Amino acid sequence: MVNHAKTEQLKDLFADKKSSHVLDKILRFRENISAQTYLQNDPVTQYFPEDIDLFAHLNQGIRMIDCGAFTGDTLEQTLSIFEKRKQSLDYIALMEPDIQNLQALQANVKKYVDRCDLFVLPAGAWSSSQILQIQSNGASSQIRKLQGQPEEGVFAIPVVAIDEVFYGAKPNYIKMDIEGAEIEAIEGAKQTIADYSPVLAICLYHRASDLWNIPLRVHEINSNYNFYLRVHGDMGLETVIYCVPRLSAALNITS
């Protein structure tokens, strides 16, 4: 189902015509899946789209939180993109709750410690700090609330609120690809989003209603963002909302 009232609200937030066209294509495909409405992916780079200047407003180094770092498979690309753009890096914090991914993640971090301050937080992003469960499934592991004795492939994990762990570190770029936990993680980052206006790159495709609920919630928390919508995968997968602080918000950010 599509909530047309909320998708119209979402259109009002977009900073470019392309985002409105992308949304229209997504909605047509959802309502009538066919070869004629097939949604092709955008060739721009996911999390660093060439047609959106995410970091023009920054006059300090990147302080990035990668929520859903997986095995660090994109770390080399991330570092190379920042270096190519001559964007200085203060740190990248890599959050990954799945123990089956952590060994590979830690090994990748060791390869690049001479290029940037990197640290791994073996926890998921959530609305508050507590113990939950994860259904371990590689790149698509899902966090869920405690449900008695865990069955095979389910493990207890710590989750944390970004406000409770990173607020003092003043992050200015937060990426979230956390298999449906994005709304919970945003609730746990409300103060950080309100006070520091970090650039946000948040996946919208894990739950149907995320397409409108996530950007509208971000707008409720901080109304000084420009919003851009891009689709980086086939069939509407890898749909990302990019939230970039307007100049008025950027000028008020504490460095």
Under the banding of pLDDT at 50, 70 and 90, the label for residue 235 is confident
Tens digit of pLDDT for each residue in 100-125? 899 999 999 999 999 999 999 999 99
Q: How much is the pLDDT for 255?
A: 54
pLDDT of residue 40: 83
From the list 1, 52, 42, 44, the residue with the least C-alpha distance to 21 is 42
User: Is 135 part of a structural domain of the chain?
Assistant: yes
| Share of the chain residues as helix, strand and coil, in percent rounded to the nearest 5 | 35, 25, 40
Residue 249 has what pLDDT? 57
For 122-144, the pLDDT digits (tens) are: 999 999 999 988 776 655 566 65
Tell me the percentage of the chain whose pLDDT exceeds 70.
90
**Domain presence at residue 213:** yes
For residue 162, is pLDDT > 80? Answer: yes
175 within some domain: yes
* Domain that includes residue 174, residue range: 13-30+59-251
Looking at the DSSP assignment, which residues form a beta bridge with residue 203? 240
Which residue, among 173, 228, 226, 175, has the nearest Cα to 196 in the 3D structure? 173
Chain centroid to Cα 145, Å, comes to 21
Cβ contact 167:65 at 8 Å: no
Sign of the CA dihedral running 176, 184, 161, 218: positive
Indicate whether 71 pLDDT > 90.
yes
Q: What is the CATH number for 203?
A: 3.40.50.150
The domain total for the chain is 1
Residue 183 token pair: 């709304």
Least confident range from 82-91, 150-159, 163-172, 216-225: namely 150-159
Confidence (pLDDT) at 124: 93
Give the number of other CB atoms < 10 A from CB of residue 191: 14
CA 203 to chain centre: 5
Q: Is-contact 165 54, C-beta < 8 A?
A: no
Longest CA–CA span in the chain (Å) reads 51
Does 6 fall in a domain?
Answer: no
According to the model, what pLDDT value does residue 106 have?
Answer: 96
Q: What is the pTM of this model?
A: 0.91
**Residue 218 within a domain:** yes
Amino acid at 139: A
In a domain, 156, yes or no: yes
Domain annotation covers residue 7: no
* Angle (deg, nearest 10), helices 17-31 and 4-11: 160
What pLDDT, on a 0 to 100 scale, did the predictor assign at position 227?
Answer: 98
Q: Is residue 209 part of a domain?
A: yes
